[in-house]
């Protein structure tokens, strides 16, 4: 890791529409020179942007807050960490793995989703339901031998309705913020079983 003077801290909200809570989009990013300043703004985001916490007179409301850390003066977009906060500024989860790792696995206590659990995740400009097929590797002191990187800190998720398999970055997988229709839950469970059957045959 570099010293703070060589880092950029980026804060932005992910917002959903009042009239269509399936649509999600990032707010304008804020830039900080150190993590403490970034976290102070996150803790008071509601004071700075009250219109994103009000009623439906405004088009959008905050779904979550994201803090991303980058290395400065690099010829590449080198990301050092990702932290996700509730709209009220409470830390939900984070990934502290730089882009090139090594990823040594997640501590068990930070595994917030189980295989077979229906989850919600941003995908493009949509919030989609999905079902967890695989969890990230659990922490293992010998995991460095596997050559894993930040991209391996992910949940394998089957999307509804596309049935697409996505490797979703761990901090960007959420408990559903809306009711999951029974037909959606049933369809995802069936897709999970098909995936298991296929894996068993191969």
pLDDT in tens, 100-122: 888 888 999 999 999 999 999 99
Contact 83, 12 (CB under 8 A): no
Return the percentage of the chain with pLDDT > 90, whole number: 73
- Alpha carbon separation from 117 to 7, 23, 114, 140, 163 (Å, rounded): 36, 22, 5, 24, 15
- Separation CA 158–CA 119 (nearest Å): 10
- Separation CA 120–CA 174 (nearest Å): 5
Q: Please report which confidence band the pLDDT of residue 5 belongs to, taking 50, 70 and 90 as the band edges.
A: low
Domain 102-202 grouped into CATH 2.30.30 = yes
- Separation CA 167–CA 115 (nearest Å): 14
Contact 87, 65 (CB under 8 A): yes
**Confidence (pLDDT) at 182:** 97
The model's pTM is: 0.91
Q: Above 80 in pLDDT, residue 26?
A: yes
- Separation CA 199–CA 186 (nearest Å): 20
């Amino acid at each position: 890791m570099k010293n703070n003077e060589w880092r950029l801290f980026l804060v932005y909200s992910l917002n959903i529409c009042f009239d269509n809570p399936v649509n999600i989009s990032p707010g304008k990013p804020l830039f900080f020179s150190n993590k403490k300043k970034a976290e102070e703004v996150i803790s008071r985001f509601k004071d700075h942007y009250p219109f994103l916490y009000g009623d439906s007179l405004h088009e959008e409301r905050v779904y979550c807050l994201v803090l991303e850390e980058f290395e400065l003066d690099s010829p590449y977009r080198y990301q050092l960490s990702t932290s996700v906060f509730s709209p009220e500024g409470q830390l939900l989860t984070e990934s502290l793995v730089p882009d090139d790792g090594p990823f040594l696995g997640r501590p068990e206590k930070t595994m917030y989703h189980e295989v077979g659990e229906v989850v919600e995740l941003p995908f493009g400009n949509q919030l989609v339901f999905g079902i967890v097929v695989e969890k990230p590797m659990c922490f293992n002191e010998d995991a460095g031998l596997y050559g894993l990187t930040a991209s391996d800190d992910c949940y394998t998720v089957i999307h509804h309705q596309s049935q697409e398999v996505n490797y979703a970055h761990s901090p960007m997988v959420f408990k559903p913020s809306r009711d999951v229709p029974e037909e959606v839950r049933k369809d995802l469970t069936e897709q999970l079983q098909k995936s298991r059957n296929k894996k068993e045959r191969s």
